[in-house]
Amino acid sequence: EKGYKNVEVFSKEHLAVSLAYDVAQLSTKFTKERGAFTVALSGGSLIKYLRKLVDSPYAETIDWSKWHVFWVDERVVPKDNLESNYKLANDGFLSKVPIPPLNVYSIDDSLPPDGAADVYETTLRRLVTSNVIATSTNGLPKFDLMLLGMGPDGHVASLFPGHPLLNEDQKWVSFLNDSPKQPPERITFTFPVINASSNVAMVVTGAGKSTAVYTALEDDVKTVQLPVEKVSPYEGELKWYLDKGAASKLFKE
C-alpha cells in the first residue's frame, strides 16, 4: 500500500472527531503563541464536520474569546439567505460557541460586491498590521488555519477550473461574476492568501470526489492541473482529511 504523509482516510464519524481534535490543538497552540487564533472557513459540507467542536470537551476547553473567524469565499447573497456561507457557518457552528461577535469577520452584504471584496481585503490588511492575523515572509496574511473543501471538479474556495482568477497574484480577495457553479457572483480569497497559511485542512468526502482526489494526489500522467493542486502552503502544512468514498481510487497498485 502506498502511504501519504499528509493524507488521512476516515469513516465520516471519525473524520469529524479527528478534525475537531486537530482544530482544538491548533487553537491551543496559536492562542498560547500569539494570543489569537485566526480561522478561515469555507462553505459546503465542511461546516457539519466542525460540529464536534460545539460539544464536550471542546466547547469548554477551547478559548473561544481568542478566535477570529473569516470566510475563504462567499456567495453574493444576503447574509440571511440559505445560500450564504456565513449563514451556513453561523447556524451550524458559530452561533453555538461564545466567539466575540466583533471577531466574526463576515463579508459585507450591503455593498456592491466588487466593493465588498476590496473592503474585506482592507480589513485583512488592517488585521495584519495590528498582528491579529500573522504575516508571511512575503507580507501576506498568514492564517493560523484555513479550512477548505473541494468540489468534484477540483475547485477550492471559489477558484474554478480554467478561471483567470487561478493566476491572480495581486489581489488578496476578489469578486467574480462568472462562477460555473451557482450562484455566479462570488467573493473569494486568491491562491497567494491560501498558500500563505500556517495550516491548511482539506476536507473532502464522498465518492463523487474520488476522481479529483486521485488526479490531485496520484495521477502522474495527467494533462490538466486542477485548482486544488495549486494549494501548497509555502511556509505551512497541508493535511487532507478524506472519507473512504473520496479515497476510493487511491492506494491501488
Q: C-beta of 154: minimal distance to ligand 6PG in Å?
A: 10
Q: Do the beta carbons of residue 50 and residue 148 sit within 8 Å?
A: no
Q: C-beta of 176: minimal distance to ligand 6PG in Å?
A: 11
HEC string for the chain: CCCCCCEEEECHHHHHHHHHHHHHHHHHHHHHHHCCEEEEECCHHHHHHHHHHHCCCHHHHCCHHHEEEEECEEECCCCCCCCCHHHHHHHHCHHHCCCCHHHECCCCCCCCHHHHHHHHHHHHHHHHHCCCCEECCCCCEECCEEEECCCCCCCECCECCCCHHHHCCCCCEEEECCCCCCCCCEEEECHHHHHCCCEEEEEECCHHHHHHHHHHHCCCCCCCCCHHHHCCCCCCEEEEEEECCCCCCCCCC
Q: Of the two residues 127 and 145, which places its CB atom closer to ligand 6PG in the complex?
A: 145
Q: Of the two residues 29 and 153, which places its CB atom closer to ligand 6PG in the complex?
A: 153
- Cα 195–92–15 angle (5° rounding)? 60
Residue ranges binding ligand 6PG (CB under 6 A):
42-46, 73, 75, 149-151, 181
Closest residue to ligand 6PG in the complex (CB): 44
Q: C-beta of 125: minimal distance to ligand 6PG in Å?
A: 24
Q: Of the two residues 46 and 99, which places its CB atom closer to ligand 6PG in the complex?
A: 46
Q: C-beta of 16: minimal distance to ligand 6PG in Å?
A: 13
Q: Of the two residues 36 and 228, which places its CB atom closer to ligand 6PG in the complex?
A: 228
Q: Of the two residues 168 and 243, which places its CB atom closer to ligand 6PG in the complex?
A: 243
Q: Of the two residues 42 and 103, which places its CB atom closer to ligand 6PG in the complex?
A: 42
Q: C-beta of 168: minimal distance to ligand 6PG in Å?
A: 17
Q: C-beta of 45: minimal distance to ligand 6PG in Å?
A: 4
